[in-house]
Structure 1
Amino acid sequence: MSRAVLTLVLVAIAASAGAQQAGPQMPDPRQMSGVPLPTGDLPVGTITVRVIRGSLSNPLPGQRVEIIGDAQASGTTNESGRAEFPNLRPGATIRATAVVDGEKLESQQIQMPSAGGIRVMLVATDPEAEKRAEQDRELARGPSQRGTVVLGDQSRFVFELGDEGLNVFNIVQILNTARVPVEPVSPVSFELPAGATHAALLEGSSPLAAVVDGRVNVRGPFPPGMTLVQFAYTLPLEGSALTVRQVVPAPLAQLTVIAQKVGGMRLASSQLAQQRDMNSEGRLYILGQGPALAAGGAVEFSFTGLPHSPTWPRNVALTLAILVLAGGAWISVRPHGAPAQSRDRERLHERREKLFDELTALEESHRDGRVDPAVYSSRRQHLIASLERIYAALDEDAAA
């Protein structure tokens, strides 16, 4: 996978990894406690202070809050745990403070901006949080239960053209939202498309995954939170069109596809609700998204306009080889003609081989984008016409 594609995938996964590595909960609000957040939604000179205990779902109404520093003010939080302080001088350096059950909470130093306002959150310790965390750890170490897992909304199908065909990358987040390990009723097994080659797990995949006989099997039980599985395979190209079909073994929260766009390549799928082109590090990619998919459903992507190595030079080479062998056998049994005629025929054979080598090299240069399209078309037409004349001359000689 190229660095540009990998960046796209990792950025998307990182956006939710903090929540899903530890479980389906939001990131710990304590990490955001006291950190000022500038916002254009508030009037100039206004700061709002929200006080919560442990989590966003546990606001503290009626809590006294003070502003200290270049400006002093005090107030009480409303039902959502928020207190608002307007009319503070832009440029003033302040802090927001509160005392909750003897615990002093204080924000970072804040300089009031000249445009917009500031939001800040103060998070008090939840004495029950550590108890719940210890309970979660105990449950995670306990026996597994029958249950279900889902493929998270940060799962990705990534496509990239390679030397041997279309490379397909599956970045799969398997989520267990329970507090205990789960053993799914149905096995989590990804069947690879027919003709897939070079199937392999990518670095960073869970040790629960393995590639076995055309499948990627992920054995349970699955621990609480996220299990990351990344695998890849290659589909050879026989023409300019290719359809990729895969069955998802568990419910897919959201369909997302990223495809490197080369030349006039197009992607079509009835399952994509939206699709657009995007640039990353100077390269063009197709980004598509679609709705959720039930377990056992299939995703299907149709690619057209794929650049590929034409098969006709290979077929022509085989045909020529057969003709040469047949011609050699025929010559060996026919009566020997004049030496001059033999030399002329030999020169035609040499010229034919030279033209064919030039044509093959031209096709390879065109495939790699190393020749101007106009030059390619003109040169190709000339070489084919020359080959036709030589074959005609050889046929006339054989008839004689």
Structure 2
Amino acid sequence: MRRLLAAISLVLLLLSGLTAQVMAGGQMPDPQQMSGVPLPTGDIPAGTVTVRVVRGALSNLVTSHPVELTGDVSASATTNDAGRAEFKGLKPGSRVKAVTVVDGQRLESQEFTLPPQAGIRLMLVATDPGAPARAEEDRRLADAPARNGIVVLGEQSRFVFELADGGMTVFNIYQILNTAQTPVEPAVPVVFHLPAGAAGTALLEGSSPRAAVTGDRVNVSGPFAPGMTLVQFAYTMPYAGGSLTITQPLPAAMARVSVVAQKVGGLTLASPQVAQQRDMSADGQTYIMGQGPPVAAGSDLTFAFSGLPHPATWPRNLAVSIASLILLIGAYAAVRGRHARGATIERQRLEAERERLFGQLTALEDSHQAGAVDPQAYAARRRDLIVALERVYAALDEAVAA
């Protein structure tokens, strides 16, 4: 988990304060805790500050309300229908803070310096007098029996890809949201099926105790309380060549696809679900930042990486070729050896047969000279021995030629 937080801390231009709070504890943060905290972001141009004013809850916007910047720059703006006051064209390096007064409460942000390559978002949160009563009602509903319902994967869900020895580490951060006021039990269990080849799957610190790794999947049992349930896990995808494709099925609808990938050399990322991406450098590292539109439940997210760093394959291929050649030579030598041994045995047999036939022919000639054999029998027997010897000599000639 520490490695994950370090990677994400280097790309603050993508993240928001809500992400940081979610990752730290797993519960939806109190807006008062985020009040006045400046957050760099690449979503708006450098030299721009947006100030969102709310009363109690994030959904309770304060519109048409004056906000001021003080410090090296003095400026004023009015919140729009989204509760935001926007200040543009500010000089990077200036130190400022935002101030407003809501219902007699003076709200001030932390003093901050405008960064040279990013804009600043911040929020000022006023106390809502009716908040305690609503909080009590929310607690009552949260303790009610679970009902059938649905959950979604919130906008703060994201995927972080980090190169490691012999593979790519994939961090999955899922913000499972129940937007109802009572606990819900989804009709379809929330199960994250792991991509083929995933190894070493483990839950990360801060994950809900309802999550468990079982074989090739991560199960998240219900019911789900109102608000957010955080599930974080990681696994390693081994690869040997320069490309790798990861497919992740989604058990619930995802509000937005967010991707952070460590970039080394000419690494590229292609995904039909990532509509926008760009490279960004931070602390000497380069990252691919990608975002995409909502994705329906049951869809497969596909991330195709190419240009991955890997050892050259020609030494391995050469070694395999040499080994194959050695095996072929050995097999040929074995066959030739067996053939040679067989030929030697056959030649020895033919030579023995030749000597036997010569012996019989010599004995026949001696009997004929002594008048001990009938002339007709002698002629027939002599003819047979001569034919047999001719066959033996022909076979010996073939053996020598082979």
Regarding TM over 0.5, the answer is yes
| Gap runs ≥5 in structure 2 | 37-46, 65-98, 109-122, 338-402
For 2:164 and 2:34, the matched residues in 1 are separated by: 46
Q: For 2:138, which of 123, 136, 139 is the aligned residue?
A: 136
Q: For 1:231, which of 229, 233, 243 is the aligned residue?
A: 233
Distance apart, 1:170 and its partner CA:
0.8
Tell me the C-alpha RMSD between the 2 structures: 4.4
Q: Tell me the alpha carbon deviations over residues 70-124 of structure 1, each in whole angstroms, 9 at most, x when there is no partner.
A: xxxxxxxxxxxxxxxxxxxxxxxxx9999x8xxx85678xxxxxxxxxxx98956
What is the match of residue 294 of structure 1? 296
**1:27 has 2:31 as partner:** yes
For 1:284 and 1:221, the matched residues in 2 are separated by: 40
What is the match of residue 177 of structure 1? 179
Aligned length: 278
Specify whether residues 29 and 263 from structure 1 end up closer, same or farther in structure 2 by C-alpha distance, changes over 3 A only.
closer
- Structure 2 residue identity aligned to 1:171: I
Structure exhibiting the larger radius of gyration computed from Cα positions: 2
Q: Secondary structure at the match of 2:240?
A: coil
| Gap runs ≥5 in structure 1 | 33-38, 42-49, 62-94, 109-119, 335-400
Q: Tell me the alpha carbon deviations over residues 211-238 of structure 1, each in whole angstroms, 9 at most, x when there is no partner.
A: 1121111111111111111111122213
Q: How does 1:144-159 map to 2 (within 5 A)?
A: 144-159=146-161
Conserved? CA contact 2:27–2:229, under 8 Å:
no
- Structure 2 residue identity aligned to 1:269: S
Q: Tell me the alpha carbon deviations over residues 314-335 of structure 1, each in whole angstroms, 9 at most, x when there is no partner.
A: 344355456557767859x97x
Q: Tell me the alpha carbon deviations over residues 165-186 of structure 1, each in whole angstroms, 9 at most, x when there is no partner.
A: 1221111111111111111111
Q: Secondary structure at the match of 1:137?
A: helix
Conserved? CA contact 1:275–1:289, under 8 Å:
yes
Distance apart, 1:140 and its partner CA:
1.9
Distance apart, 1:54 and its partner CA:
8.3
Distance apart, 1:309 and its partner CA:
2.6
For 1:169 and 1:258, the matched residues in 2 are separated by: 10
The answer to which of 133-142 and 223-232 deviates more is 133-142
**1:212 has 2:248 as partner:** no
Q: How does 1:13-162 map to 2 (within 5 A)?
A: 15-17=17-19, 27-28=31-32, 57=60, 123=126, 126=129, 128-162=130-164
For 2:298 and 2:217, the matched residues in 1 are separated by: 15
Distance apart, 1:300 and its partner CA:
1.2
For 2:284 and 2:149, the matched residues in 1 are separated by: 45
- Structure 1 residue identity aligned to 2:208: S
What is the match of residue 270 of structure 1? 272
- Structure 2 residue identity aligned to 1:301: F
Conserved? CA contact 1:161–1:260, under 8 Å:
yes
Normalising by structure 1, what TM-score? 0.57
Distance apart, 1:296 and its partner CA:
0.7
Distance apart, 1:129 and its partner CA:
2.5
Q: How does 1:243-392 map to 2 (within 5 A)?
A: 243-321=245-323, 330=333
What is the match of residue 41 of structure 2? none
Specify whether residues 121 and 240 from structure 1 end up closer, same or farther in structure 2 by C-alpha distance, changes over 3 A only.
closer
Normalising by structure 2, what TM-score? 0.57
Percent identity (aligned): 49
For 2:325 and 2:63, the matched residues in 1 are separated by: 90
